[in-house]
């Protein structure tokens, strides 16, 4: 398993960008859309840009926390996956010395050998015994988190695009002049 198997996450925005119409600055923070050409009477649609922006800001804040914790967990996993379960365990056999004298028994040497747990630990970690390996399972969990966060990031961008579009539509909207007949009643443009 390579290190590329786990995605790297980063935040696109650290805070929700303001909704600024592309043609000029200004406009209101809320939009009311009236369906003038509708064949059935519909209620006005009210878009609260401040509510959209607040929701976007909350999602970005929560996402930042998740991404930061994900990166810490991923770094820990990558640093420890090759030894954490005893895959590198060794047994040290040495010649005992007489306490306090530094004397040892002639003919005996210190040796290092693989601990018997190594084989089981490697199988547990890499799945070489036919069972799913814990390292691949953990990498899959990290990939799933990365995919979920990427999808959430796309949703946040779509939400921002909707807010930008509503802000531009509000700025570009204008009250028509003259009389307007809608659903049998006439608006003369006066209040």
Residue 145 belongs to some domain of the structure:
yes
Residue 21 belongs to some domain of the structure:
yes
How does pLDDT run along the chain (191 residues), one tens digit per residue? 445 578 888 888 888 887 776 554 444 444 444 445 545 555 566 778 889 999 999 999 999 999 999 999 999 999 999 999 999 998 877 665 555 555 555 556 677 888 899 999 999 999 999 999 999 999 999 999 999 999 999 999 999 999 888 888 777 666 556 665 555 555 555 54
The predicted model scores a pTM of: 0.63
The closest of 102, 140, 117 to 1, measured between CA atoms, is: 140
Number of domains in the chain: 1
Residue 128 belongs to some domain of the structure:
no
Give the structural domain span for 71: 3-87+135-187
Residue 35 belongs to some domain of the structure:
yes
Dump pLDDT digits (tens) for 88-125: 998 877 665 555 555 555 556 677 888 899 999 999 99
Residue 56 belongs to some domain of the structure:
yes
Buried residues in 106-143 as b, exposed as e (16+ CB within 10 A): eeeeeeeeebeebeebbbbbbbeeeeebebeebbeebe
Residue 97 belongs to some domain of the structure:
no
Residue 126 belongs to some domain of the structure:
no
Residue 171 belongs to some domain of the structure:
yes
Indicate the DSSP class of residue 25: S
R_g (Cα) of the chain, nearest Å: 33
């Amino acid at each position: 398993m390579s290190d590329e198997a786990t995605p790297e996450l980063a935040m696109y925005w650290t805070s929700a960008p303001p909704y600024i119409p592309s043609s000029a600055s200004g406009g209101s923070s809320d939009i009311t859309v009236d369906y003038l050409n509708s064949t059935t009477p519909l209620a006005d649609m009210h878009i609260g840009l401040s509510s959209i922006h607040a929701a976007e800001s909350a999602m970005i804040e929560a996402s930042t926390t998740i991404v930061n914790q994900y990166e810490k967990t991923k770094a820990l996993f990558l640093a420890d996956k090759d030894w954490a379960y005893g895959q590198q365990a060794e047994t040290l056999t040495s010649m005992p010395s007489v306490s306090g004298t530094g004397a040892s028994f002639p003919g005996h040497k210190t040796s290092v050998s693989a601990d018997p747990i190594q084989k089981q630990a490697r199988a547990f970690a890499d799945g070489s015994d036919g069972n799913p390996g814990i390292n691949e399972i953990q990498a899959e969990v990290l990939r799933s988190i990365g995919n979920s966060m990427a999808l959430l990031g796309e949703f946040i961008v779509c939400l921002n695009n909707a807010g930008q579009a509503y802000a531009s539509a509000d700025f570009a909207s204008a009250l028509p002049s003259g009389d307007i007949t809608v659903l049998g009643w006439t608006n003369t443009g006066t209040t």
